[in-house]
Structure 1
Amino acid sequence: MRLPLIVLTTLCASTALGQTVASITLTLPNNETSIRVGREPCDRTQSATYTYTSTTTVVCSDLRIWLVQGSSCSDEPTGTYKMVKQISQGDVVNQPTGSISFTVSQLPGFTGSVSCPAADREDTYRLCASIKLPGGSFGSECGSGSFQRDDVEVVYDAKPPVAPTLSQVIALDSALSVIVTSPDDAEFVRVSVTREGKEIKNVQKAAEQTAIRVEGLENGVTYQVSARAVDEASNESVSSEVKNGTPVPTRGFLDRYDEAGGQEMGGCGAAGGGVVGSLVLAVLGFWLSSRRNRS
């Protein structure tokens, strides 16, 4: 009984060793799964990295990397596509990884009468990679092999976001606080402060920041405030509603104290009755309490 078991084990191990394990991977910068490109500039270069790994040195097709319009990739390039890189069968093993690049104007949607830039449209593309590997019991038969592939999304986005909602402008000392709600597809919001038609300040903040402070303004002067949303593809919305805002000085205790000539307010000169006296007593009480705790 022992010999048949040994033979069976050997056959199973041989089959396992004969299987081909392989993968082809596309990686975008910062490990993103999708990139969005805008309509300007059309010659902007987009990049990615391909990596091919396999337990065999036998391949049955070129390694092809191409762009195609749509939401999926086939085993091989079909339809309207743009070839980005092709490595021959003989060179694949020697070039298992590398960088690829393409420009926005090379996207397959820009053919015939349609050219880049194309305004007010949003198209989805796939960056596809595939290679055919051998099959069979020992991974050496190209006729029975299968394709290994990977893909990532590329979106041409030329549709600007809707305008943000500017709900309130709050007066501060030499500044304004602008309350803005941005649309979901916005990445930034730009707040513009103008006076008599001339822009005085321009502040850009992340879209999720709802309260934006604009500093360096003149108290008592009325400014016009508006906001625009900017998406990931740098498309900018139309302006929000324009609201007015007038910075005002903040009159705190020290301001009133200086105006009074350094005298206590409230009509009482004794330490127990004035504002300053109250502060002194509070500090003295804190000091005595600290001494008791230490003892």
Structure 2
Amino acid sequence: MPVHILDSRPRLRKTLIGLIIFLVLFGLFGFFAAPHVVRSLAEKHGSEFLGRQLTLNEVSINPYTLEMSLVGLRVLEANEETEALSLARLAVDVEWSSVFRGAPIVRSVEIDQLRVRLARIDSSTYNFSDVLNKILDQPPTDDEPARFSINNIVLRGGHIDIDDQPLGRQHTISNIEIGLPFVSNLPSDIELHVEPSISARVNDAAFALQGKVRPFIDEREATLKLELKALGLARSDEYSPVPLDFRIAAGTLDTDIEIGFRQPLKGEPRITLRGTLGLHDLKLDDKSGAALIKLPALDVVLNEIE
């Protein structure tokens, strides 16, 4: 018996040494080589797919904790003269269980100083229409929908510039702050620490939504309340990125809706709507200007819609 113990010690020692060497090489590759590979692939394939130049200043990866951050991402317009999108920093913290479950489970996502430029070229064309058409033209698949769980999503300091060239108007959505506790179709038990919220300044007018999260052991739940009073709908169809067969000539919208997100540890996730929705003085025309629908008032009570 002692002989077997002595014989096993060299094997155990070799196994431990091999494991240590693997972890060291894995760390060296993750810390030093992987960021250059990710940056090169992102710039190459991202630019090819978008049809626009994509650049990254810096990529950092922690292979032991599966944390990755991108710094200084920029996407130019197709003419390469103006900037279509940029962000100061994107940080993603992935759960190790993603490797074993075959689906991404993300503990947190942080986006700092996202800046987007949207331009409406004509009634149905935007500066991103070619990218949208490329996505919509993808052939449908019969495969199961991709499974994922993304938690604790935070956007800080967002900014959107809208150039409405046909109408000669400029719009700005600034100081965008967004907090989403989770977006998921996969049960997971990640700790939630982000309260649901959205705030911004729309053409210097303040806008804010606040919610609450209830991270129960058997079911995670978050709610977001949406209240709008006499929101003008006239000509809002002109901003649709896909062609519509009607025009909104007039109308206002009132809402008092609570949006609920429920994610059980076992079972499918649920999104529910409850509250009231009101349309007033709605008028829809066809493309030639002929009246399609005139609706003085429509009040809808949503008890609970999934």
Scaled to the shorter chain, the TM-score interval is: under 0.3
Larger-gyration structure (1/2): 1
More strand by share: 2
Compare relative contact order (CA 8 Å, sep 6+) and give the higher one, 1 or 2. Answer: 1
TM-score (norm 1): 0.26
